[in-house]
Structure 1
Amino acid sequence: MPGFEFGGSEEEAMVPAPRVLVTGATGLLGRAVCTEFQNSGWLVIGTGYRRARPRLLRCDLTDEDAVKRLLHEYKPDVIVHCAAERRPDVVERHTEAAVNLNVHATSMLAKEAAGCRAFFLYISTDYVFDGRNPPYGEDDSPNPLNVYGRSKLEGERETLRHCPGAVVLRVPVLFGEVESVSESAVTSLWLKVQETTESCTLDHCQQRFPTDSRDVATVCRKLAERARQDPSIRGIFHFSAKEQMTKYEMAIAIAQAFNLPSNHLIPVSTYQYMNKYMELYICLYKYLQYIQFNFICVAPSHNRSYLRTLFKWSRSRPNSL
């Protein structure tokens, strides 16, 4: 099967590059993770399913035999499990399929990772918390409010049950190099900003920490590298950017950056606006000091860098403005 098989110099060939298997490599975070590891000299094997493309492997992660064949053939040193059904409304409508991917496939991957002694890194979410008493630390008790959050929490538990040496990395709402603005809950606000003919209510109560997927990818690589040297690197970790904004504030920033009117955007500052699909206020920022992990060296997710993502996206689609 073809994958991200990148050659190096003759000298580099003397020392085999470490191998990383990235599930969900077609998604926003998965693409960033593949690029980060590749740029750091790893041999990257990226998998996808419905959106699989050239240089990626097509693999149904709910097919146990297919997963076993994949791991047997490529023998990864590290598995970064990004694949998930992350849209809460879709999880509510198609619960069985979502649970198969978010829970059962995760459980199977964790078992196989333990069996082949690969370091397993499971990407989780702030939705495992209810948002009532932020900020949350890694030792705080989860209390998910919707099916998506419950499925990811169960995925965490299956990961650590079957692969005790694994890491669970919880992250908040992400943005990055999108293929469409709807791919991120941050950049999707563009659709509301540009629709100036109708008023639009936006939450101005819940503080979010929009985080660049490239930063998360760097954290994944650094955790993998440290964990391969130090088996005590295991358990649950949190990471997010520092800048906090409400959805309304993000939308206003987008409108100002593109010189678009914003009087159709209406802030809602009452908790009555929240429902079971609410995006929770979770501060996940942590320095991971005990593993000497300094995020100063990570590409900074600040100064509203999601605006740069939108600028780049709009330049590639001149008719979008």
Structure 2
Amino acid sequence: MKTVLITGANGLLGQKLVQLYDQQDGISVIATGKGENRNASGRYTYTQMDVTSKEDVSHVVSKYQPDVIINTAAMTHVDQCELDPETCWTLNVTAVENLIGACEASGSFLIQLSTDFIFDGESGPYVEDDLPNPLSKYAESKLASERLLESSNVKHAIVRTMLVYGIVHDMSRSNIILWVKKSLEEKKLIKVVNDQWRTPTLAEDLAKGCALIAEKRAEGVWHISGKDLLTPYDMAIATADFFNLDKSFIEKADGSIFTQPAKRPAKTGFILDKAKRELGYEPVSFKEGLAILKSQLAHV
């Protein structure tokens, strides 16, 4: 593996992948995004590319001939996808069609990011070959992109993940931990769901998981997440404890009190045995993830 092209390089996972690969000798990193570069400076090459444009994707992939493409570009706001299914489909499915076409010409290995939301949450945590049953437009689009890849001739891997948390270089994006921390520091009462379960994923762990798959060209479906099964309420309490903030401002809430356009699966979570056994993947605990975030915040 010599050249890695990353789509959605301005996003959380995209930035972590750029950082990870930029530190490695012998690897040329092509970071791509629709807008201006928001990554820290480095040795990588940044070029604008719109994944929804077949011509754009074909031109950039043809120019750089990457050995591996990691597609982190997507429309991930679940409720927004429900309200605007056309844009959701364009970003999450048509874009993958474009990448498949480019990879057929270049021979690139394609890693596609997917989601725990393809499952209905009735029998989590899940292994890779459990049957999907999407509950939302977002989930339907991500499952459709999986099916596209599986029916193509492109060498590929599908990486399902969930509830990714971390800090981007320019602090332009929030996440549940930063939201809880900021709210409690401002002494705001927050209601946090206690009837949905996930295995929250540190962005650095997800980047490492993708890199392990890329290095081995490990085809197929992979579940890459954190290892602790938690509710958002559990995460909020752990965040308050870790940063020595007042937990009395955190109130348990039933998911049904929130009016959200898209339905969420109740209990997902991933069983990571396959990734641990075949890739050597080992995520940090949620508490260790909080410590990593704290150290990063100290340098912002």
* TM-score, normalised by the number of residues in structure 1: 0.82
The farther-off stretch of 248-257 and 60-69 is 248-257
Pairwise CA RMSD of aligned residues?
2.5
Partner of 1:260: 245
Partner of 2:288: 305
Letter in 2 for 1:241: G
Report the secondary structure of 1:188's partner residue: helix
Question: Compared with structure 1, are the counterparts of its residues 289 and 161 closer, same or farther at alpha carbon in structure 2 (3 Å cutoff)?
Answer: same
User: Given that residues 181 and 190 in structure 1 are in contact (C-alpha distance below 8 angstroms), is that contact kept between their aligned partners in structure 2?
Assistant: no
Partner of 1:36: 20
Partner of 1:24: 8
Pick the aligned partner of 2:190 from 180, 188, 200.
Answer: 200
Pick the aligned partner of 1:240 from 203, 222, 225.
Answer: 225
Report the secondary structure of 1:162's partner residue: coil
Partner of 1:12: none
Letter in 2 for 1:62: T
Post-superposition offset of 1:76: 0.4
Instruction: Give the gaps of 5 or more residues in structure 2.
Output: none
Partner of 1:104: 94
The farther-off stretch of 186-195 and 22-31 is 186-195
Post-superposition offset of 1:211: 1.3
Identity %: 29
| 1:1-321 map, 5 Å | 18-41=2-25, 42-53=27-38, 55-178=45-168, 179-180=170-171, 182-197=173-188, 199-227=189-217, 233-268=218-253, 270=254, 272-273=256-257, 276-278=262-264, 280-288=266-274, 292-296=278-282, 300-312=283-295, 314-315=297-298
Measured in 2, the distance between the counterparts of 1:127 and 1:236 equals: 15
Post-superposition offset of 1:273: 4.7
Question: Compared with structure 1, are the counterparts of its residues 141 and 39 closer, same or farther at alpha carbon in structure 2 (3 Å cutoff)?
Answer: same
Post-superposition offset of 1:193: 3.1
* Cα deviation 1:124-146 (Å, max 9, x = unaligned): 11111111111212111111111
Question: Compared with structure 1, are the counterparts of its residues 260 and 307 closer, same or farther at alpha carbon in structure 2 (3 Å cutoff)?
Answer: same
Question: Compared with structure 1, are the counterparts of its residues 169 and 289 closer, same or farther at alpha carbon in structure 2 (3 Å cutoff)?
Answer: closer
Pick the structure with greater CA Rg. 1
Instruction: Give the gaps of 5 or more residues in structure 1.
Output: 1-16, 228-232
The farther-off stretch of 207-216 and 53-62 is 53-62
User: Given that residues 118 and 132 in structure 2 are in contact (C-alpha distance below 8 angstroms), is that contact kept between their aligned partners in structure 1?
Assistant: yes
User: Given that residues 288 and 294 in structure 1 are in contact (C-alpha distance below 8 angstroms), is that contact kept between their aligned partners in structure 2?
Assistant: no
Question: Compared with structure 1, are the counterparts of its residues 213 and 280 closer, same or farther at alpha carbon in structure 2 (3 Å cutoff)?
Answer: farther
Post-superposition offset of 1:283: 2.2
Structure 1's consecutive aligned runs of 4 or more residues displaced over 6 angstroms after TM superposition are none
Question: Compared with structure 1, are the counterparts of its residues 302 and 19 closer, same or farther at alpha carbon in structure 2 (3 Å cutoff)?
Answer: same
* Cα deviation 1:273-307 (Å, max 9, x = unaligned): 576343653222323379732224xxx42152342
User: Given that residues 174 and 212 in structure 1 are in contact (C-alpha distance below 8 angstroms), is that contact kept between their aligned partners in structure 2?
Assistant: yes
Question: Compared with structure 1, are the counterparts of its residues 272 and 180 closer, same or farther at alpha carbon in structure 2 (3 Å cutoff)?
Answer: same
Measured in 2, the distance between the counterparts of 1:165 and 1:119 equals: 5
Letter in 2 for 1:187: L
Aligned length: 291
Report the secondary structure of 1:308's partner residue: helix
Measured in 2, the distance between the counterparts of 1:30 and 1:280 equals: 28
